[in-house]
């Protein structure tokens, strides 16, 4: 693995640090040395990148996504959540296969990387294809098989798939981790959560995912205290949404150390409501940010989510109640905390997951270091994103993906997208007959 030395850049080490000029030495996937602007460093043996008038920040952590759903962007924009899910998403998903899922995930991960996401937490079917796409794009990924219960046979088949993907991909290149993903307590009965908890006992390190209280109607369908009683919540859980968590639910989330993944664009677009993020934070719950899938967001730009999360809270509880540093912490330090990984900060000994912005772009004007956090959260500077490093490797550099044939991937993606729409059209016509 190559040794890299990043010189002359402005560096924002974390959500609460000042932005200053530093040099960063990377070796074997890790940040091994950070030196001051004028400190001596023996550059011998290092590949040197002069990043003058550029800003390095920690890579962003997307804590809830469905990368394959990039196919469904724009399919059901102005509908209710039930029409969106039952009439548009689920029927289209029937037409996917392993190869299509691979190209959907490739396209989704590439979009994430070009918006500064270095880690993505993904729940879906086709976990082998998604893990392969993570391996090929270079993204750090936490992948879970979305588990639902229809028949005992179907349930067991999905769990077996989850375990098979675990055996094949867990710890691949030190950056792919496989966990379990029971979809939601309204698609999995409580006794199955109990069984699953027993299984997860053998996978103590795994990060597990679930959707909780995205829609208000879910409050009629199950109680969070019943889910707690199954033991599942205590297994390193990231719960997406939690829009309708009440005071009792907040206590349950807190005592089980559940991380809440907030997905503001998706929640607003589907009219799900406003998650009480500030209340979660004040209660000591770890809150992170997610893009959710492109079927409901529709973009996979985490900077937009940072912006939306801030706007939504300001407009609901007051503009002074949430600060940009708290928002950045959600996609950096809090994301890292949820995954128990040395990422989300630029520190010696941490993984070299970094993002580089080009400060020559008007998105960064006024070009004053004390305003850089403001520009990040309130100006969504995706256009000036210049490079993304994951595990010490450039996976995106000078706005290109080295080693990836982008045209070929986007062409296959387009072809499969057309096929899904043709199949869906035939299916819809047959329904009408
Ligand atoms: Zn989701």
pLDDT of the chain, 433 residues: tens digit per residue: 589 999 999 999 999 999 999 999 999 999 999 999 889 999 999 999 999 999 999 999 999 999 999 999 999 999 998 899 999 999 999 999 999 999 999 999 999 999 999 999 999 999 999 999 999 999 999 999 999 999 999 999 999 999 999 999 999 999 999 999 999 999 999 999 999 999 999 999 999 999 999 999 999 999 999 999 999 999 999 999 999 999 999 999 999 999 999 999 999 999 999 999 999 999 999 999 999 999 999 999 999 999 999 999 999 999 999 999 999 999 999 999 999 999 999 999 999 999 999 999 999 999 999 999 999 999 999 999 999 999 999 999 999 999 999 999 999 999 999 999 999 999 988 876 5
Total residue length of the chain = 433
Alpha-carbon gap, residue 333 to 347, rounded angstroms: 12
Measure 339 CA to ligand 1 centroid, in angstroms: 18
Cα of 66 vs centre of ligand 1, distance in Å, is 7
According to the model, what pLDDT value does residue 2 have? 86
Measure 210 CA to ligand 1 centroid, in angstroms: 8
- The confidence score (pLDDT) of residue 72 equals 97
Distance 290 CA to ligand 1 centre (A): 9
Closest CA to 234 of 259, 212, 214: 259
Ligand 1 centre from 7 Cα, in Å?
A: 39
Supply angle C-alpha 182, 186, 190, rounded to 5.
Answer: 70
What's the gap in Å between 399 CA and the centre of ligand 1? 28
Longest dimension (CA), the chain: 76
Architecture of the domain spanning 60-339: Alpha-Beta Barrel (3.20)
419-425: Cβ within 8 A, 24+ apart: 419/95, 419/100, 420/71, 420/92, 420/95, 420/96, 420/100, 423/95, 424/91, 424/92, 424/95
Going from the Cα of 147 to the center of ligand 1, the distance in angstroms, rounded, reads 13
Determine the distance separating the centroid of ligand 1 and the alpha carbon of 117, expressed in angstroms: 17
* Per-residue pLDDT reduced to its tens digit, 263-299: 999 999 999 999 999 999 999 999 999 999 999 999 9
β-partners of residue 119 are 61, 140
Residues with CB under 5 A from ligand 1 (ion): 240, 292
CA of 125 to the centre of ligand 1 (A): 12
Our CA dihedral for 7, 10, 12, 18, rounded to 10 degrees, sits at 130
Please tell me the predicted confidence (pLDDT) of residue 1: 59
What was the pLDDT predicted at 432? 67
Q: Which two tokens stand for residue 243?
A: 């829009």
pLDDT at 429: 87
Identify the pLDDT of residue 172.
97
pLDDT of res. 12:
98
Residue 109 Cα to ligand 1 middle (Å): 16
Residue 429, H or E segment: helix 406-432
CA 90 and chain centroid, separation: 21
Give the DSSP H or E segment for 413: helix 406-432
Token pair, residue 379, equals: 């100006």
Q: Topology of domain 4-58+343-397, per CATH?
A: Urease, subunit C; domain 1 (2.30.40)
Name the E strands within 104-175: 117-124, 140-147
> Ligand 1: distance of its center to the CA of 211 in Å?
6
In the reported structure, the alpha carbon of residue 353 is separated from the centroid of ligand 1 by a whole-number distance in angstroms of 24
Ligand 1 centroid distance, CA of 240 (Å): 6
For the chain, report the end-to-end CA distance as a whole number of angstroms: 60
Q: Given the DSSP bridges, would you call strands 117-124 and 140-147 parallel, antiparallel or unpaired?
A: parallel
User: Mutual orientation of helices 324-331 and 302-317 as an angle, nearest 10°?
Assistant: 140
Dihedral Cα 345, 346, 349, 353, nearest 10 deg: 80
d(CA 292, CA 262): 9
- CA–chain centroid gap for 215, Å, is 21
Q: Which helix (H) or strand (E) holds 414?
A: helix 406-432
Q: Cα separation of 121 and 177, whole Å?
A: 9
Q: Tell how far the Cα of 292 is from the centroid of ligand 1, in angstroms.
A: 5
Model pLDDT for residues 49-81, shown as the tens digit of each residue: 999 999 999 999 999 999 999 999 999 999 998
Q: Where are the domains of the chain?
A: 4-58+343-397, 60-339
């Amino acid at each position: 693995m190559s040794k890299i030395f990043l010189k002359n850049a402005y560096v924002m080490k974390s959500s609460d640090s000042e932005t200053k000029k530093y040099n960063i030495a990377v070796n074997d996937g890790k940040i091994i040395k950070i030196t001051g602007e004028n400190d001596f460093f023996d550059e011998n043996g290092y590949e040197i990148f002069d990043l003058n008038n550029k800003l390095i920040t920690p890579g962003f952590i997307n804590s809830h996504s469905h990368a394959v759903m990039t196919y469904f962007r724009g399919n059901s924009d102005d509908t209710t959540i039930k029409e969106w899910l039952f009439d548009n998403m689920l029927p289209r998903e029937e037409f996917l296969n392993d190869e299509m899922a691979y190209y959907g995930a490739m396209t989704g991960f590439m979009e994430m990387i070009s918006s500064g996401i270095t880690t993505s937490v993904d729940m879906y079917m086709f976990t082998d294809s998604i893990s392969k796409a993570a391996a090929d794009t270079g993204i750090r990924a936490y992948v879970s098989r979305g588990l639902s219960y229809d028949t005992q046979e179907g349930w067991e088949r999905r769990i077996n798939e989850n375990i098979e993907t675990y055996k094949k991909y867990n710890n691949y290149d030190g950056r792919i981790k496989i966990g379990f993903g029971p979809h939601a307590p309204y698609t999995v009965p409580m006794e199955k959560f109990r069984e699953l908890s027993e299984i997860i006992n053998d996978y103590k390190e795994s990060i597990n995912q679930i959707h909780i209280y995205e829609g208000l109607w879910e409050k009629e369908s199950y109680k969070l205290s019943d889910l707690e009683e199954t033991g599942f919540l205590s297994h390193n859980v990231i719960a997406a949404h939690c829009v309708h968590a009440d005071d009792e639910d907040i206590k349950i989330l807190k005592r089980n150390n559940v991380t809440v993944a907030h997905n503001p664009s998706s929640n607003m677009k589907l009219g799900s409501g406003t998650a009480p993020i500030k209340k979660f934070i004040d209660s000591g719950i770890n809150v992170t940010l997610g893009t959710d899938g492109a079927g409901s967001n529709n973009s996979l730009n985490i900077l937009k989510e940072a912006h939306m999360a801030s706007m939504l809270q300001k407009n609901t509880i007051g503009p002074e109640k949430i600060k940009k540093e708290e928002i950045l912490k959600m996609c950096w330090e809090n994301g890292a905390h949820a995954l128990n990984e040395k990422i989300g900060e630029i520190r010696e000994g941490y993984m070299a997951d970094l993002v580089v912005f080009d400060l020559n772009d008007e998105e960064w004007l006024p070009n004053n270091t004390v305003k850089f956090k403001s520009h990040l959260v309130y100006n969504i500077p995706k256009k000036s994103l210049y490079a993304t490093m994951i595990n010490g490797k450039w996976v995106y550099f000078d706005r290109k993906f080295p080693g990836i044939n982008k045209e070929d991937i986007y062409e296959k993606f387009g072809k499969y997208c057309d096929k899904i729409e043709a199949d869906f059209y035939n299916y819809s016509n047959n329904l009408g007959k």
